[in-house]
Structure 1
Amino acid sequence: MTVSVATSSRDMIEGALARAVQFPRLRYMGSKYKLLPHLARAFADVDGATALDAFAGSGVVSYLLKAQGYQVTSNDFLNFPSAITRATVVNQTVKLTAAEVDTICGEPADDRDFIRRTFDGLYFTAADREFLDSAWSHIDLLKGHKQAIAISALVLAAARKQPRGVFTFTDLRYDDGRRDLHLPLRDHFRERVEDYNRVVFNSGQTCQTRSGDVFDLPAKSYDLVYLDPPYAPPRDDNDYIKRYHFLEGLSVYWRGQKLMENTKTKKLEKKYTPFSYKRTIVDALSRTFEQFKDSTIVLSYSSNAIPDAGTIKDLLGAVKSDIEVREIDHKYSFGTHSTAQRRDVSEYIFIAR
């Protein structure tokens, strides 16, 4: 019989946090690494055992939920978060061996050159681009969780090597001399595999992951639904494809992806989401709350986003009678350009029962 995690003690919360802070850190717009202690307490207050992380992003919150004993379903509309959560949340015991890493880092298994040709002169050195093609020639031969770890490590290696972790520019304007920016991708990959191997653990609970629109999730009742939707910022944008298109393509070797050859960055075609636009986000949030009205909803939201906290509370109030709002001081930036200064904002955690 599944035991509720609502009775988690302080020691259990601290133990889950100790695991979660070891999670390999991907620099990702809206990531909740700094809010993990607040989220852990909110999750421990929910009476239940099954949880959905509907907008998984970097995967760290899905991993925290696993560490707190939940049976986790992780979802994101991009592909690479599903690879990360498959490697760290769904996977309970599998790791990549040193011999397997040596093979991936060794001579190529075939003569593929898609990355070398397509991204010639962009982002990385010729040797790094050659390594990415070669690595994928071996990753294609892996199966299951081993493949997921390898893809996750490759994605994180590419993100760490690229200044600011985003692919909206192709030059070295942000090269500040950090080791990550000059370490060869082959060496990055070896280190990132160690990072992912280190966080594999058996929670004793079956978890799953998927990639798709939140509104296409199969009808299922969860005890807890965590929502961290893309914010509609008052300025700039929240276009994840624009920032992370290379990671998205790399996670599937660009199979099934529409590459925009005429763009300087060789980005992917933008995926529509109603959460990105001021004119559609209120309806999108309302539909999401209605979709999960039978679950306890825990939602993260920023005071710097649209709509405001009062509107969020009203929308939740249409489907829930008990709404708690916890306000946390937080530094956050929506952009990576020179005018997007990190500024003090309030991060809200709504708990709607």
Structure 2
Amino acid sequence: MNTRSENVRNWLRIRIEMLFEEYKYFDYRFPEPQYLGAKHTHLSWINKFIPDEISVVLDAFSGSQSVSFLFKQLGFKTIINDFLNFNNQIGKALIENKSYTLDSNDLAILFQPATNKDDFDLIEKTFTDIFFEREEAIFLDNFRANISLLENEYKKAVAFTVINRSITRKITMGHFGHMQALVYANDPERIRRNRSLIRPIKELLPSYNNAVFDNTNDNRSFNQNILDLLPQLSNIDLAYFDPPYCDSHANYQGFYHLLETYTEYWKDKEFVNGIKRYEPQRYSGFDKKRDVFSSFEKLFELSSEIPYWLISYNNKSYPGIEDFEELILKHRDVTIETKTYQNDRGGKGSVAGSQEILFVCKPRKKYFIPIKSRNN
């Protein structure tokens, strides 16, 4: 090979490496969630509107972590937050975690008979014959007791993530706002259509282990109300806001109360209604009509130093699109992008024909008037 050909080949190789540098983490696949409002089906659409030349991103209402995982894949330093701890554990497992996975020794620990079982009977006492047969509830308590024996917080987070995903997979419709779980679980026709109802937990583990990677940044996962966390943060380039769609989707604490109860293992809560939802619930500020305007005003004020915002929303949410746009325009220039649901995906805000909205918010343009014009 002559020198000129070798130089051309090297130049092409370097150009190709540069072209695909931003996608070098895309071999790691996000385990698909089963979560109302999860954005995993919208990621390529959202990606179109991420501004260039940013390096630090905040996902303020991170939920299933699908958008956070995209940010991590893109190589950004990714700071995430969710006020529900079961979501925070997903963040610790897949975003903050750089290398820890569960191996066969960890599984032996998790599946062994718990030595402190007397302190772990919450699921058996509270949810037997509601969501689980007694044997299943005892297994979940045993598994929960053994999570504390794992060697570090990241292995614990992976364990929480896998078991919580397994719990949702075994409940038809994937949430806990109904009392038909055992009826569905014992229906052969439903099992035939949805084999995941009877698949073992260990089948899920490889997809989560394989999703752990290091994007060379010190990513962080927080478990706070975002209005409390924002004053503690600085030097954020882009904030992604995916708040609860007030009046559009279900109450997440109501639908996913069991996952939070299992993760927190509440000792100081009352369990109410037929589904045994915990009370009192955590304060959000974004899921009740009486609070939502003032909460968004405060959110935008606290985000004044963050140049770019992307805000996921829905055309059936409260406040309406025009009123919400007016709120944003007090702080940023904004364009509105829309994506129409072609099929029902659960929840009032994602039925066929409804629209997913993305508010693309940029710093206000500064207009400069020449000195001569000002004098005139």
Partner SS for 2:149: coil
Hey, what does 2:40 align to over in structure 1?
A: 33
Hey, what does 1:280 align to over in structure 2?
A: 291
Question: Does the CA-based 8 Å contact 1:17-1:37 persist in structure 2?
Answer: no
* 1:120 counterpart = 2:128: yes
* 1:161 counterpart = 2:161: no
Partner SS for 2:235: coil
Hey, what does 1:268 align to over in structure 2?
A: 278
229, 235, 257: which is aligned to 1:221?
235
| In structure 1, C-alpha distance between the alignment counterparts of 2:350 and 2:238, rounded to whole Å | 34
Cα gap change, 1:293/1:341 in structure 2, threshold over 3 Å: closer, same or farther? closer
* 1:199 counterpart = 2:211: yes
| In structure 2, C-alpha distance between the alignment counterparts of 1:75 and 1:110, rounded to whole Å | 32
Report deviation, 1:151.
0.8
Hey, what does 1:182 align to over in structure 2?
A: 198
Report deviation, 1:332.
7.4
- Greater per-residue helix proportion: 2
49, 53, 63: which is aligned to 1:47?
53
Cα distance per residue 1:64-117 (max 9 Å; x no partner) = 111111111110111111100100000011111122113312333332322212
| In structure 2, C-alpha distance between the alignment counterparts of 1:252 and 1:326, rounded to whole Å | 38
* 1:24 counterpart = 2:31: yes
Hey, what does 1:101 align to over in structure 2?
A: 107
Partner SS for 1:85: helix
TM-score, length of structure 1 as denominator length: 0.86
Cα gap change, 1:105/1:247 in structure 2, threshold over 3 Å: closer, same or farther? same
Question: Does the CA-based 8 Å contact 1:245-1:267 persist in structure 2?
Answer: yes
| In structure 2, C-alpha distance between the alignment counterparts of 1:328 and 1:13, rounded to whole Å | 25
Gaps of 5+ in 2: 1-16, 363-376
Hey, what does 2:340 align to over in structure 1?
A: 329
Hey, what does 1:299 align to over in structure 2?
A: 311
What is the correspondence of 1:122-141 to structure 2 with a 5 Å cutoff? 122-141=130-149
Partner SS for 2:31: coil
Question: Does the CA-based 8 Å contact 1:109-1:134 persist in structure 2?
Answer: no
Report deviation, 1:159.
0.8
| In structure 2, C-alpha distance between the alignment counterparts of 1:196 and 1:220, rounded to whole Å | 31
Partner SS for 2:282: coil
Cα gap change, 1:304/1:331 in structure 2, threshold over 3 Å: closer, same or farther? farther
| In structure 1, C-alpha distance between the alignment counterparts of 2:328 and 2:343, rounded to whole Å | 24
Q: Which has the larger radius of gyration?
A: 2
Provide the aligned C-alpha RMSD in A. Answer: 2.4
TM-score, length of structure 2 as denominator length: 0.81
| In structure 2, C-alpha distance between the alignment counterparts of 1:204 and 1:265, rounded to whole Å | 43
Cα distance per residue 1:203-258 (max 9 Å; x no partner) = 00110011111110124231010000101126xx6311110010011112235x52
Report deviation, 1:271.
2.3
Gaps of 5+ in 1: 1-7
Cα distance per residue 1:140-199 (max 9 Å; x no partner) = 11221011100111111111111111111233455522112223xxx22x1222221010
Tell me the number of residue pairs that the alignment of Structure 1 and Structure 2 aligns: 332
Question: Does the CA-based 8 Å contact 2:316-2:349 persist in structure 1?
Answer: no
| In structure 2, C-alpha distance between the alignment counterparts of 1:13 and 1:30, rounded to whole Å | 27
Report deviation, 1:14.
5.7
Report deviation, 1:283.
2.4
